[in-house]
Structure 1
Amino acid sequence: MMAVTEFQKIGIGLTGFGIFFVLFGVLLYFDSVLLAFGNILFLTGLVFIIGPRRTAHFFFQRQKFRGSLFFLGGVSLVLLRWPIIGMLVECYGFVLLFRSFFPMVFGFMFSIINIPFLNVLFPNISGSQKSLV
């Protein structure tokens, strides 16, 4: 198992708070201050988790340049108090940036179906017709 450094632990916390503030900002009708704070925390947490050099390398790869441009442009629009347009642009950039990770995430989500306890709770997901009674 991989050891997690103290900086990575701080980064996980910052990223978690960033996601929380972004979701909370969306729930409060696109509050620009919460969205901006969440974006800053998310990006800072990402730098703490994987390091500044690897973060810059991730965002500025040739094949991910368009996604980075949209994502960072959306963050800039949110910081300039255009929250709805900024979040739309940012979401499009997020999909472009992280589309290579989606098959892995979906594979993990569908592997949860094979856990026996969840199979009993959610029988329709796995395709079985057992009832809880």
Structure 2
Amino acid sequence: MAYEITEQKKIGIGLIGFGIFFSLLGVILFFDRGLLALGNIFWLTGVAILLGWRSTLKLFTNQAYYKGTISFFLGLFFLFVRWPLVGIILEIYGCIILFGGFWPSVKVFLNHIPVVGWIISYLF
């Protein structure tokens, strides 16, 4: 396998998974603020653990990604001031801008997983 998965990276992936789960549950339950906030906390912590604290700080403060960073944190602010629909839309846009360069790496990683890799190679 091309990628080494350490225990720390497993924890980061798990936290990102919990963050996505709680965010989706918050959206399903009519934009419940508590679940959305919990999902964001898990997701941000998971990204920081997976990438490393310095790399995460560099990612969010990189001049090329200011648009995504401002959009993401503005969405987080709108989530906390009880405008969850606007907040989620801004956060999704910010994530697409911030993590758009990671999609090819994610695709290569997913191709190495037995069942998921077969599905991805069949669809794309």
Q: Same fold (TM over 0.5)?
A: yes
* Aligned counterpart, 1:82: 83
Given the two structures, how large is their TM-score scaled by the length of structure 2?
A: 0.79
Deviates more, 1:91-100 or 1:12-21: 91-100
Structure with max Cα Rg:
1
Greater helix fraction, Structure 1 or Structure 2: 2
Identity of aligned residues (%): 43
| Aligned-residue offset at 1:111 | 5.1
* Unpaired runs of at least 5, structure 2: 112-116
- Counterparts of residues 16-55 of structure 1 (less than 5 Å): 16-55=17-56
Q: Provide the C-alpha distance between the structure 1 equivalents of 2:32 and 2:105, rounded to a whole number of angstroms.
A: 32
* Aligned counterpart, 1:122: none
| Aligned-residue offset at 1:64 | 0.4
Q: Provide the C-alpha distance between the structure 2 equivalents of 1:35 and 1:112, rounded to a whole number of angstroms.
A: 33
Q: Provide the C-alpha distance between the structure 1 equivalents of 2:102 and 2:12, rounded to a whole number of angstroms.
A: 20
Cα distance change on mapping 1:44 and 1:77 into 2, 3 Å: same
| Aligned-residue offset at 1:90 | 1.0
Q: Provide the C-alpha distance between the structure 1 equivalents of 2:40 and 2:120, rounded to a whole number of angstroms.
A: 30
What CA RMSD, in Å, does the superposition of the two structures yield over aligned residues? 2.4
| Aligned-residue offset at 1:5 | 2.3
Q: Deviations over 1:10-56 (max 9, x none)?
A: 11111100000011111111111111100110000011111110001
Deviates more, 1:104-113 or 1:77-86: 104-113
Which one-letter code corresponds to 2:46 in the other structure? Answer: G
* Unpaired runs of at least 5, structure 1: 114-124, 127-133
Which structure has more RCO (C-alpha within 8 Å, separation ≥ 6)? 2
Which one-letter code corresponds to 2:19 in the other structure? Answer: G
* Aligned counterpart, 1:67: 68
Say which SS state the counterpart of residue 81 (structure 1) adopts. Answer: coil
Cα distance change on mapping 1:82 and 1:47 into 2, 3 Å: same
* Aligned counterpart, 2:114: none
* Aligned counterpart, 2:6: 5
Deviates more, 1:97-106 or 1:55-64: 97-106
Cα distance change on mapping 1:101 and 1:85 into 2, 3 Å: same
